[in-house]
A and B are shown apart, each in its own frame.
Chain A
């Protein structure tokens, strides 16, 4: 987290907004990735299950 690129010449309020948006995007992306990881796992279970029974 500490080596995230710091935009040059940015006033503190803007920098706070910059960081807040970065965090928001990272969180949204994290949720999406976790969702798809779970979805692929469950799809795999269903597909394997279909061939076992």
Chain B
């Protein structure tokens, strides 16, 4: 460490980029794009690109605000200690201003280029993640992940509304699917990194309610996900391509969740079932939304008639 009096080096642009959580953003971009492509409306490619860009920038802004607020917490966890703020490569004010700038800019651009309904939803999603989740509820309730899942569920909703200009049952269902998917996805991770969360005092479910409860809840959410994921087919919002894929994928998800839900951690456990469930949960979401777009494409092209 240089002495305090030394002039701090300017923060590298890569560190600003890291503030936006690029890996999370890839899932945001993908689900947002799928929502946009699956919607029964055509949108000019340039405007579609702009809409996805705004969703990504908004998510990046919210992520930067999350890192600004949680710098102290991140410093205490192995997984996050190397982030730009806890590692001391950036000052907090710069991170906050960067987050606010991205957030405001993305909402304004989406409003001007696409429409104010989609922009309003983007603003709500950013506030939901940065304020309601990060600042208010994450440090206060073990249901924090259930609530945080709402933030991650916005991209396909915003993508769909950007294309159609209205909120209908289908985009709300896409929202509900990600909402229901997040708890088993994240609790599987929390089960094998729980020592870290306990150290920094975040009330993750395994820490507060115990492992048995967490495993049971993972199973409940995985079971509920199956009928929910198939609902777009049952209400006639999609065709059989999506419907059958949703049933197969959700059955596999439940299959991965079962051993996690029914076992207990032994001494010296490698947590293999939990790691496999976490890994598959990411594959699940990518595949499910890819099938949603494939279904729409099949319908438009008339392949199944």
Contacts and interface: CB of A to CB of B under 8 A. Distances in A.
Contact of A18 (B10, B13, B44, B50): B10
Nearest to A10: B7
Contacts of A10: 7
B202 interface: no
B163 to A, nearest CB: 15
B169 interface: no
Contacts, number: 34
A28 B7 contact: no
Contact of B9 (A9, A17, A50): A17
Contacts of A25: 10-13
Contacts of A22: 10
A4 B12 CA distance: 17
A21 B7 contact: no
Contact of B47 (A7, A17, A24, A46): A46
B46 A8 contact: no
A33 interface: no
Contacts of B13: 24-25, 28-29
Given A21-B12, A25-B12, A28-B13, A43 B7 contact: no
B189 interface: no
B113 interface: yes
Interface residues of A, number: 19
Interface in B1-39: 7, 9-13
Contact of B50 (A7, A14, A17, A39): A39
Contacts of B9: 14, 17-18, 21
A22 B44 CA distance: 38
B10 A8 contact: no
B44 A46 contact: yes
A43 B12 contact: no
Nearest to A22: B10
A39 B47 CA distance: 10
A50 B12 contact: no
> For B7, B10, B11, B113, which residue has the most chain A Cβ atoms within 10 angstroms?
B10
Contacts of A24: 12-13
B275 to A, nearest CB: 36
Contacts of A18: 7, 9-10
Interface string B27-70: 00000000000000000101100100100000000000000000
A43 B50 contact: yes
Interface of A: 7-10, 14, 17-18, 21-22, 24-25, 28-29, 39, 42-43, 46-47, 50
Interface of B: 7, 9-13, 44, 46-47, 50, 53, 113
15 contacts: A7-B7, A10-B7, A14-B9, A17-B9, A18-B7, A21-B10, A21-B12, A22-B10, A24-B12, A24-B13, A25-B13, A42-B46, A46-B47, A47-B113, A50-B44
